Structure 1
């Protein structure tokens, strides 16, 4: 505990990224190693979500985006997909009061119209109940795909050009960013991926253009406060030049 407190103090004294995005990978492998069904790994992973959200809020992180369900995840076994659809609702129902008390604002990125009614209702309720909060912006990427997002943005902009509301020469980074699912959110500073995989997996392709990447072999259900702080410490060893010298 004291080690964590010292580590937290050291991180706060360094630079804390404004926007952290996490690819929460390894739930299935965590369960398999223990001879358990894959869904048990997802259940255990929710404990990591809970702890990382609290630590991020304590540190003053402005935005935390969690890759909860991708557009490609529908190809997983039906039982697993059904369980994954229930997790956001269960988490929000059990933790919404705590999130409110911590001034956390809940948001969603993704095409939620395809999600089950109970998932959509839980998400909408959480957004509504936390809309005035001014602390950490907690964004769940649900049924989200980076390429799909960019296609939708291009379609919206094309409609405006066709309607004479926008000239092609007026299409700027700012115009595109305004149409993104993440809206006014700042670009991602740090992308964390657990379980040893080293790829972006169609996650925040535009927003992570200049993000730093941190890969760890730790499986998501085992990724807690200490591992999160270590990722930020590693981030602080980087020199971000954004294409400059």
Structure 2
């Protein structure tokens, strides 16, 4: 049975689900939060220590302004209501990506990280305004600035996921088969599962089914 410490998820399909079921992309984003709750709960049940969720990419700024504003308002509301619950459940929140948002949201993100910093049951890495290519280039710039040698160890040290084990498992919902500039370095040897269901339709049974399949995979890492 393969050990599983870190699951990364590309939560794709909210907008399409909203248009299909509610005639509104925003309603899909709202429904997607319920799936987030289910996955967090099951991650704890499975005793998985790290969960990285791709919430907003650097490319998502190209979406309509109204949708972007709705997403950030939804995030503000979610964190405001859930941060105390995270504390009670011993969940740590960690933001990866550039905090280039409103002063209000930046303050809330910083406060959420500070309040949950010492929690240990689960670390949720929320990827916001995140792009892997930018992250890698930025890490190389830091290596050069500090006159360090360019090698795998040093590059990993300057990534935003430093001190976090690489994901063993990536799940992408929404029937789309690409990485979308997400954790390109960290996912080098991850097992990848593309799920047909849109994110709001994804449930605990789907999640557990994928975990069980992962644990039975023969992982060679280049060996026979």
Above 0.5 in TM-score?
A: yes
CA-based RMSD: 1.2
Equivalent residue, structure 2, for 1:141? 127
Equivalent residue, structure 2, for 1:122? 108
Q: 1:105 Cα deviation (Å)?
A: 0.6
Indicate which of 223, 227, 230 corresponds to 2:202.
223
Indicate which of 74, 82, 93 corresponds to 2:80.
93
Larger radius of gyration: 1
Deviations 1:2-57 (A, max 9, x none): xxxxxxxxxxxx55521100000000110111242101100000111111111111
Provide the rounded CA distance (Å) in 1 between the counterparts of 2:154 and 2:3: 28
Q: 1:208 Cα deviation (Å)?
A: 0.4
Q: 1:237 Cα deviation (Å)?
A: 2.8
Structure 2 unaligned spans of 5+: none
CA contact (8 A) 2:2 2:216 kept: no
Q: 1:242 Cα deviation (Å)?
A: 1.0
Equivalent residue, structure 2, for 1:45? 32
1:60 aligns with 2:47: yes
TM-score using structure 2 length:
0.96
Equivalent residue, structure 2, for 1:238? 217
SS at match of 2:126: strand
Task: Sort the Cα spacing of 1:120 and 1:72 in 2 relative to 1 into closer, same or farther, 3 A.
Answer: same
Provide the rounded CA distance (Å) in 1 between the counterparts of 2:38 and 2:140: 37
Provide the rounded CA distance (Å) in 2 between the counterparts of 1:107 and 1:62: 13
Deviations 1:51-75 (A, max 9, x none): 1111111211111000000000000
Q: 1:171 Cα deviation (Å)?
A: 2.9
Provide the rounded CA distance (Å) in 1 between the counterparts of 2:2 and 2:67: 38
SS at match of 1:150: helix
SS at match of 2:179: coil
TM-score using structure 1 length:
0.88
Structure 1 unaligned spans of 5+: 1-13
1:184 aligns with 2:184: no
Provide the rounded CA distance (Å) in 2 between the counterparts of 1:89 and 1:182: 23
SS at match of 2:167: coil
Provide the rounded CA distance (Å) in 1 between the counterparts of 2:109 and 2:203: 24
CA contact (8 A) 1:16 1:60 kept: no
Equivalent residue, structure 2, for 1:202? 181
CA contact (8 A) 2:2 2:217 kept: no
Provide the rounded CA distance (Å) in 2 between the counterparts of 1:208 and 1:27: 23
Provide the rounded CA distance (Å) in 2 between the counterparts of 1:93 and 1:16: 34
CA contact (8 A) 2:91 2:123 kept: yes
Provide the rounded CA distance (Å) in 2 between the counterparts of 1:227 and 1:95: 24
